[in-house]
Chain A
Amino acid sequence: MLRNAQLWGGLFWLAFGLFIAFQGYELGLGQAREPGSGFAIFWLGLMMAAFATSIVFSAIKNGSEDIASLWRDTRWPKVLLIIVMLLVFGFLFETIGFVICSLVLLLVLMRVVDPVPWPTALLVSFGATFGMWYCLNKLLMIQLPNGWLSPWLG
Chain B
Amino acid sequence: MEILSALGHGFAVALQPINLMACFFGVFIGTLVGVLPGIGPVSAMALLLPVTLSGSPEAGIIMMAGIYYGSMYGGSTTSILVNIPGEAASVITCLDGHQMAKNGRAGPALGIAAIGSFVAGTFAIVALMLVAPWLAKFAIAFGPPEYFSLMVLGLTVLAFLTQGSMAKSLLMACVGVTLGLVGIDQITAAPRLTFDRLELLDGVGLIPVVMGLFGVAEILANIERSVQREVVSARIGSLWPTLQDWAYSKWAIARGTILGFFLGILPGGGAVISSFASYALERRLSKRPEMFGKGAIEGVAGPEAANNSAAGGAFIPLLTLGIPPNVVMALLLGAFIIHGIQPGPLLITQNPGIFWGIVASMYIGNIMLLILNFPLIGMWVQVLKVPYKLLFPLILMFCIVGVFSSGSAVFDVFVMTVFGLIGYLMRKFGYEPAPLVLAFVLGPMVENNLRKSLILSQGDFSVFIERPISLACLIVAAAMILAPLLPVLRAKREAVALDQE
Mark A residues whose CB is within 8 Å of B: 5-6, 9, 13, 16-17, 20, 23, 27-28, 31-41, 44-45, 47-48, 51-52, 54-55, 58, 70-71, 74-76, 78-79, 82-83, 86-87, 89-90, 93-94, 102, 105-106, 109-110, 113-116, 120, 124, 128-129, 132, 136, 140-144
Interface 1/0s, chain B 429-461, versus A by CB < 8 A? 111000000000000001100110011001111
Report chain B residues within 8 Å CB of A106.
Answer: 393-394, 397
Question: Once bound together, how far apart are the Cα atoms of A124 and B429, in whole Å?
Answer: 35
Do residues B400 and A89 form an inter-chain contact, with CB atoms below 8 A? Answer: yes
- Cβ-neighbour of A82 out of B185, B396, B458 (below 8 A): B396
Interface 1/0s, chain B 390-417, versus A by CB < 8 A? 1011101110110011001010011011
Do residues A41 and B394 form an inter-chain contact, with CB atoms below 8 A? Answer: no
Do residues A102 and B397 form an inter-chain contact, with CB atoms below 8 A? Answer: yes
Do residues A44 and B178 form an inter-chain contact, with CB atoms below 8 A? Answer: yes
Task: State how many angstroms separate the Cβ of B32 from the closest Cβ of chain A.
Answer: 16
Q: Which 5 A-B pairs have the closest CB atoms?
A: A33-B459, A32-B459, A114-B389, A109-B393, A51-B171
Report chain B residues within 8 Å CB of A132.
Answer: 397-398, 401
Report chain B residues within 8 Å CB of A13.
Answer: 171, 175
Do residues B421 and A83 form an inter-chain contact, with CB atoms below 8 A? Answer: yes
Question: Once bound together, how far apart are the Cα atoms of A146 and B175, in whole Å?
Answer: 37
Do residues A79 and B220 form an inter-chain contact, with CB atoms below 8 A? Answer: yes
Nearest opposing residue in chain A for B185, CB measure: A37
Task: State how many angstroms separate the Cβ of B186 from the closest Cβ of chain A.
Answer: 10
Question: How many residues belonging to B are interface residues under a CB distance threshold of 8 Å?
Answer: 63
Task: State how many angstroms separate the Cβ of A38 from the closest Cβ of chain B.
Answer: 7
Task: State how many angstroms separate the Cβ of B487 from the closest Cβ of chain A.
Answer: 16
Do residues A45 and B220 form an inter-chain contact, with CB atoms below 8 A? Answer: no
Q: List 17 A-B contacts (CB under 8 A).
A: A5-B429, A9-B431, A13-B171, A31-B459, A32-B454, A33-B458, A33-B459, A35-B454, A48-B174, A70-B429, A78-B224, A82-B223, A86-B216, A86-B413, A90-B414, A113-B223, A128-B394
Do residues B223 and A114 form an inter-chain contact, with CB atoms below 8 A? Answer: yes
Mark B residues whose CB is within 8 Å of A: 50-51, 54, 165, 167-168, 170-171, 174-175, 177-178, 181, 185, 187-188, 190, 192-193, 216, 219-220, 223-226, 387-390, 392-394, 396-398, 400-401, 404-405, 408, 410, 413-414, 416-417, 420-421, 424, 428-431, 446-447, 450-451, 454-455, 458-461
Question: Once bound together, how far apart are the Cα atoms of A140 and B401, in whole Å?
Answer: 12
Nearest opposing residue in chain B for A143, CB measure: B408
Question: Once bound together, how far apart are the Cα atoms of A31 and B455, in whole Å?
Answer: 10
Question: Once bound together, how far apart are the Cα atoms of A35 and B148, in whole Å?
Answer: 15
Report chain B residues within 8 Å CB of A82.
Answer: 219-220, 223, 396
Nearest opposing residue in chain B for A101, CB measure: B400
Nearest opposing residue in chain B for A92, CB measure: B410
Do residues A142 and B405 form an inter-chain contact, with CB atoms below 8 A? Answer: yes
Question: Once bound together, how far apart are the Cα atoms of A40 and B410, in whole Å?
Answer: 30
- Cβ-neighbour of A48 out of B175, B216, B388, B389 (below 8 A): B175
- Contacts A41-B192, A47-B174, A90-B417 given; indicate if A144 touches B404 (C-beta within 8 A): yes
- Contacts A37-B185, A48-B174, A140-B51 given; indicate if A87 touches B223 (C-beta within 8 A): no
Report chain A residues within 8 Å CB of B447.
Answer: 40
Report chain A residues within 8 Å CB of B165.
Answer: 55, 58
Task: State how many angstroms separate the Cβ of A7 from the closest Cβ of chain B.
Answer: 11
Do residues B414 and A45 form an inter-chain contact, with CB atoms below 8 A? Answer: no
Task: State how many angstroms separate the Cβ of A31 from the closest Cβ of chain B.
Answer: 6
Do residues B413 and A124 form an inter-chain contact, with CB atoms below 8 A? Answer: no
Report chain B residues within 8 Å CB of A110.
Answer: 389-390, 393
Question: Once bound together, how far apart are the Cα atoms of A129 and B396, in whole Å?
Answer: 12
Interface centre among B165, B168, B393, B431 (most CB of A within 10 A): B393
Do residues B192 and A33 form an inter-chain contact, with CB atoms below 8 A? Answer: no
Report chain A residues within 8 Å CB of B417.
Answer: 83, 86-87, 90
Question: Once bound together, how far apart are the Cα atoms of A17 and B175, in whole Å?
Answer: 9
Do residues B223 and A39 form an inter-chain contact, with CB atoms below 8 A? Answer: no
Task: State how many angstroms separate the Cβ of B160 from the closest Cβ of chain A.
Answer: 14
Question: Once bound together, how far apart are the Cα atoms of A74 and B179, in whole Å?
Answer: 31
Do residues B451 and A40 form an inter-chain contact, with CB atoms below 8 A? Answer: yes
Nearest opposing residue in chain B for A109, CB measure: B393
Question: Once bound together, how far apart are the Cα atoms of A70 and B221, in whole Å?
Answer: 12
Task: State how many angstroms separate the Cβ of A78 from the closest Cβ of chain B.
Answer: 5
Do residues A93 and B390 form an inter-chain contact, with CB atoms below 8 A? Answer: no
Do residues A120 and B450 form an inter-chain contact, with CB atoms below 8 A? Answer: no
Report chain B residues within 8 Å CB of A48.
Answer: 171, 174-175, 178
Report chain A residues within 8 Å CB of B394.
Answer: 106, 124, 128
Do residues B420 and A83 form an inter-chain contact, with CB atoms below 8 A? Answer: yes
Question: Once bound together, how far apart are the Cα atoms of A119 and B54, in whole Å?
Answer: 36
Question: Once bound together, how far apart are the Cα atoms of A4 and B344, in whole Å?
Answer: 46
Question: Once bound together, how far apart are the Cα atoms of A122 and B223, in whole Å?
Answer: 21
Interface centre among A58, A75, A86, A105 (most CB of B within 10 A): A86
Nearest opposing residue in chain A for B456, CB measure: A33
Do residues B396 and A109 form an inter-chain contact, with CB atoms below 8 A? Answer: yes
- Contacts A78-B224, A82-B223, A86-B400 given; indicate if A37 touches B188 (C-beta within 8 A): yes
Task: State how many angstroms separate the Cβ of B376 from the closest Cβ of chain A.
Answer: 23
